[in-house]
């Protein structure tokens, strides 16, 4: 059975999108012209820095190192290109 995840963007006019679990989030957000920007897509540029509310897996050490630099006191900060979605989430861009 395929699990679906809904990604919503509170505080924006962007409509929620639904993806199958483990699909490439950055690819789909780009296709849908989302408010989240992407540069390198490898977790080293920080252009896709977002705040995530929902059940997500912990960040990997390389991503965490970047998060410690870009959003040191925000436990909900993540790089959207590194998210492994398995549940519904809300995403807000961080500047």
Res. 26: pLDDT tops 90: no
CA pair distance 53, 63, nearest whole angstrom = 17
Average pLDDT, rounded, for the chain: 90
Convert the pLDDT of each residue in 36-51 to its tens digit: 888 888 888 999 999 9
Domain range for 21: 4-93
CATH assignment at residue 35:
3.10.20.30
Predicted confidence at residue 76, as pLDDT, reads: 95
CA pair distance 38, 26, nearest whole angstrom = 7
Convert the pLDDT of each residue in 7-21 to its tens digit: 999 989 999 999 999
Res. 95: pLDDT tops 80: no
Give the count of domains, the chain: 1
């Amino acid at each position: 059975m395929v699990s679906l995840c809904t990604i919503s963007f509170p505080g924006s006019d962007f409509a929620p999108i639904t993806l199958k679990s483990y699909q490439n989030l950055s690819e789909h957000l780009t296709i849908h012209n989302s408010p989240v920007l992407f540069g390198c897509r490898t977790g080293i540029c920080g252009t896709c820095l977002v705040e995530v509310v929902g059940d997500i897996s912990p960040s990997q050490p390389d991503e965490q190192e970047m998060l410690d630099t870009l959003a040191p006191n925000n436990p909900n900060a993540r790089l959207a290109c590194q998210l492994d979605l398995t549940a519904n989430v809300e995403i807000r861009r961080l500047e």
